């Protein structure tokens, strides 16, 4: 009778599947993908970009600046005063010093607002500045 008790216990131990290690692995993978995901920063407004024939893709986009038709400058979903553009760009650039700045200027905006952003970015130390366009 003692052997029957042992074989019954062996059947019980071998018949169960412990899912705890698999759940641990799944949660670790989930955390890994959440932490390493690159989040796209939005400027906060919709802009009608100018059309161009040729476009190059910016690979390391870090700072996204939008200029709307009223020549208002938006960075990180906040309207930025023209005197504070350099400070805001410097603050964002600290996270990724090698990142590029992309300006989304509306068709109706003027060159003055674009030049303000360009000059502030240069003064902040950004060397990779691009203008976002739509394909023609």
Q: pLDDT, tens digit, for every residue of 12-60? A: 556 778 888 888 999 999 888 887 766 656 666 666 666 666 656 656 6
Backbone angles phi, psi at 73, to 5 degrees: -105, 130
SS3 content of the chain, % helix, strand, coil (to 5): 40, 20, 40
* Separation CA 64–CA 68 (nearest Å): 13
Quote the mean pLDDT of the chain. 78
130 or 49: which carries more pLDDT confidence? 130
Closest to 69 in 3D by CA, of 38, 11, 120, 114:
114
Do residues 78 and 87 make contact, with C-beta atoms less than 8 angstroms apart? Answer: no
Nearest to 72, CA basis, from 46, 34, 52: 46
- CA 117 to centroid of chain Cα atoms: 20
pTM: predicted TM-score of the whole model, two decimal places: 0.59
Dihedral angle computed from the Cα positions of residues 129, 131, 132 and 136, in that order, rounded to the nearest 10 degrees:
-140
């Amino acid at each position: 009778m003692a052997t029957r008790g042992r074989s019954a216990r062996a059947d019980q131990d071998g018949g169960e599947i412990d899912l705890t290690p698999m759940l641990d692995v799944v949660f670790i993978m989930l955390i890994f993908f959440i932490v390493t995901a690159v989040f796209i920063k939005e400027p906060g407004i919709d802009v009608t970009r100018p059309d161009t024939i040729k476009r190059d893709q910016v690979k390391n986009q870090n700072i996204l600046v939008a200029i709307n038709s009223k020549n208002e400058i938006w960075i990180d979903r906040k309207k930025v005063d023209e005197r504070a553009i350099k400070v805001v760009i410097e603050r964002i650039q600290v996270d990724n010093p090698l990142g590029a700045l992309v300006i989304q200027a509306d068709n109706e905006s003027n060159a003055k607002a674009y030049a303000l952003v360009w000059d502030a970015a240069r003064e902040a130390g950004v060397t990779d500045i691009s203008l976002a366009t739509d394909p023609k």
